[in-house]
Structure 1
Amino acid sequence: MVSCSKEAHPEADRLPEAAVTRIKKAAPLVVADGFIWGINGHPLTQEAYKNNIELQLNLVQKMGMSYYRVDVPTDTNGVVIQQAVMDELLHKSAARNISLLPMLYLTGWQKSSNEADAFRRGRKIGFSFASVYSSHFHYYEMGNEEERKILKGGHGDKTTDYDLQQFKLLAAFFKGMYEGIKAVDPAAQTIIDNSGWLHYGYFQLLRDYNVPYDILGLHWYSDMGDLDNAKGHGDILSIVSSFQKPVWITEINRRHGSWNSDGTSAEEDQRAWMDRYMLQLHQRKQVKAFFVYELLDEPAFADKSKPAYNPSESVYGVVNWVSRYTTYTFKPLFAAMQYRIEETQYGNEDFLRAVYRKLYATEAGVQWLHYWLQRLASGVTAEQVVAVLLKDAGQSATLAADLLSETFWKEAIIYGFTHR
């Protein structure tokens, strides 16, 4: 069983729901233009994802997401191990207009005898994989948290925290894989990630050794603190943005998902942490994507009889199995994702429609809506808009407090998502 282990840094801090920063009245969470919302899954590798690809893709769609990150094991020749499953996934995701982000394992890099051998191995996998699948993919994530394999000690913020000889082999493998992919598709975009915390010394090493890649991938879990304050060690989003590459958060969640070591549920705590992280994306123009880890709970990891027993790994999903692999329920995080995605894409529109319904008991016209959306986009505040609309409708100015309240805003977003 292939595992993307979510090994903790310090034990996860529990966050009471009340501690979540609330968005200010009548103002949407603003993310970068073309922002990508996605989620992780393991349709080619894990038991919980077998024989239910349609369910997976339907859930991705239901959340309003457009990307699905999947780990893709290959042999040393770059041939996908589960080709039939891969073909099914490609066909069914395309039919739903869901894009896939393949995470390619760096198969064999640690067995490389020297840098030339590592480069050859990397190029072979990259070229072979892209030769078969380049028509399906624009983005390729090269490896998964590879810096953990070469970290000697320390926080990972210094280049000296890493085994340089091992890094040179890894760097050569990356260079080969990058060249192999680009030889097939020069427009392809490649991602190199880390496992989070303060491991940005790894990205400095990549820069120092001229390792080419297009997008910086960041993984983050709640035991590391906030994205804008890593337990007193600085604003991680600002630090990684300094490498002058688009930043994709390709894994993020509460550490251990909805699991507590005492056996109690942490579903609300999981939702609260993730909502906190989404709010920290506000106005972060360098951050271009946010991928939740993960789609489905994996109860196989809670089976004591199995070698991969690790109960804390079993409940990262946004979906909880009621009856194993047949019936399920949505965790609170599922609705939280729907809400924030709707808000970033249609927040002002949902708000204006709700105001119009409140004032006139009917739906707003297209021209009216377009005009006021343009006004909000030009810098006119929601308070100013509401003041004008109340006057036009002959309504009391005291109604403004209700229309600009957090409750009204939330109801507008939920109504918008439900009726879209």
Structure 2
Amino acid sequence: MFRKQVLLLALLLFGAFPSVGRAEFLWGVNGHPFTAYPGLTEEDQISQLQALGAKSYRVNISSLDHSDRLKSLIAAADMRGIEILPLLTPPVDLATDSEEALYSKSRAFAEYYGRTFPGIKVWELGNEVEVFAILQPCEMRDDGTQYPCEWGPAGGVGADEYFTPRYLKSAAVLRGLSEGMKAVSPTSRRAIGTAGWGHTGFFERLARDKIEWDISVWHMYEYKDEWAFKILASYGKPIWVTEFNHSFGSQKDGEEGQAKGLKMMMEGLHGFRDTYKIEAAFIYELFDEPYWAPNFEAFMGLVGVVKAPDGQWTVGPQKQAFQAAQEVIRSTSD
């Protein structure tokens, strides 16, 4: 018996048994297959994701009409071992819809998609809706004081840096999405968050108002957000960075600058995975969108897009950032 115990201890110490270990870090990419990318097929997108080594594709869903195409994309991605992260952005108008309408429309939208796609494990709910609520110059704070007229928009760091009448509308959207998804898909995880840029106070208000979420979402376009991760980690939920890239992509300092900046961000995020429970990070975005030039969206991609002789957009060359990201993904595979 004693010899068996010694043997068992040795096996455990030296790894002869498979280790339980932590979950593999999830690398993903953003794309717009339903609202942009004219001329680019599902195969164009999935094949580039597979070559990169990405395991998830974040796609925005803003209409019930996207349902059939989402079903097709999920099937195509699944064949290559790639998951889809649907980002639900319900067709509502924050400026004109009432709180009641925002809640009911958002809840119905979430219920439809949650019921139609029961296999989805994670849903991202809403996209940067806190921006609508940021306190503007001359507006009144909740404590009755006026936000200085000579200042720019508030930073969103504190819970009091949001204009409550607009915050309540943003919150109505997220409450509707969260409660709707829980009602029809109780085992899936709900990811909710902000645009980054210091907007941590919004999480405090959501928690105070008992709006439920399972994953804290953050967006990052400058590598200086560790302080924010400390705050997000205090809520006891895993963090997903569902948008990040070198600031302005390749517009500001060319392909080489984008590649270097993206590599640094990827390595940094992966290095924070245990400290702040960062589970996933999604590069923004898969393809350049040259039809938006000179807007920075034309330069954010990992892969170029060019016009064919017939005038149609088609896949161009992979940018230096693609190779940089590919190398990091390979080197960080567990």
- Partner residue, 1:292: 283
Rg larger in 1 or in 2?
1
TM-aligned CA deviation for residue 321 of structure 1: 2.6
1:109/1:173 contact within 8 Å kept: no
| Secondary structure of residue in 2 paired with 1:334 | helix
Counterpart residue type for residue 60 of structure 1: L
| Secondary structure of residue in 2 paired with 1:100 | strand
1:227/1:277 contact within 8 Å kept: no
In the superposition, the TM-score normalised over structure 2's length comes to 0.81
Alignment pair present for 1:95 and 2:84: no
Q: 1:169 to 1:140 in 2, by over 3 A?
A: same
Alignment match of 1:280 (pick from 244, 264, 268) = 268
Alignment match of 2:56 (pick from 55, 58, 67) = 67
Alignment match of 2:129 (pick from 146, 151, 160) = 146
Alignment match of 2:238 (pick from 246, 255, 259) = 246
Give unmatched runs, 5+ long, in structure 2: 1-20, 136-152
Separation (CA, whole Å) in 2 of partners of 1:82 and 1:142: 16
Alignment match of 1:38 (pick from 16, 28, 32) = 28
1:109/1:122 contact within 8 Å kept: no
Alignment match of 1:58 (pick from 34, 47, 53) = 47
2:302/2:318 contact within 8 Å kept: yes
Counterpart mapping for 1:258-407 below 5 A: 258-260=250-252, 266-281=254-269, 282-285=271-274, 286-302=277-293, 310-323=294-307, 325-345=313-333
1:227/1:280 contact within 8 Å kept: no
Alignment pair present for 1:255 and 2:247: yes
TM-aligned CA deviation for residue 84 of structure 1: 4.1
Once the two structures are superposed, what CA deviation does each residue of 1:247-273 show, in whole Å capped at 9, x if it has no partner? 00000012221013xxxx611111111
2:288/2:302 contact within 8 Å kept: yes
| Secondary structure of residue in 1 paired with 2:116 | helix
- Aligned-residue CA RMSD (Å): 1.9
Counterpart residue type for residue 141 of structure 1: E
- Partner residue, 1:113: 98
Separation (CA, whole Å) in 2 of partners of 1:182 and 1:292: 28
Alignment match of 1:82 (pick from 66, 70, 81) = 66
Give unmatched runs, 5+ long, in structure 1: 1-30, 229-234, 303-309, 347-420
Counterpart residue type for residue 88 of structure 1: S
TM-aligned CA deviation for residue 37 of structure 1: 0.4
Once the two structures are superposed, what CA deviation does each residue of 1:46-87 show, in whole Å capped at 9, x if it has no partner? 0x254411010011111111100000112xxxx2x2344323
| Secondary structure of residue in 1 paired with 2:35 | coil
- Partner residue, 1:179: 179
Counterpart residue type for residue 68 of structure 1: Y
Counterpart residue type for residue 161 of structure 2: D
Separation (CA, whole Å) in 2 of partners of 1:109 and 1:213: 23
Separation (CA, whole Å) in 1 of partners of 2:262 and 2:118: 33
Q: 1:327 to 1:217 in 2, by over 3 A?
A: closer
Counterpart mapping for 1:177-256 below 5 A: 177-222=177-222, 225-228=223-226, 235-256=227-248
In the superposition, the TM-score normalised over structure 1's length comes to 0.65
Counterpart residue type for residue 328 of structure 1: G
TM-aligned CA deviation for residue 322 of structure 1: 4.5
- Partner residue, 1:357: none
1:295/1:317 contact within 8 Å kept: yes
2:244/2:283 contact within 8 Å kept: yes
Separation (CA, whole Å) in 1 of partners of 2:128 and 2:231: 18
Counterpart residue type for residue 50 of structure 2: Q
Separation (CA, whole Å) in 1 of partners of 2:106 and 2:295: 34
Separation (CA, whole Å) in 2 of partners of 1:141 and 1:156: 21
Separation (CA, whole Å) in 1 of partners of 2:23 and 2:197: 27
2:39/2:314 contact within 8 Å kept: no
Q: 1:106 to 1:83 in 2, by over 3 A?
A: closer
Matched pairs, number: 289
| Secondary structure of residue in 2 paired with 1:161 | coil
Q: 1:96 to 1:49 in 2, by over 3 A?
A: farther
TM-aligned CA deviation for residue 236 of structure 1: 2.3
1:37/1:66 contact within 8 Å kept: yes
Counterpart residue type for residue 292 of structure 1: I
Separation (CA, whole Å) in 1 of partners of 2:243 and 2:22: 18
- Partner residue, 1:353: none
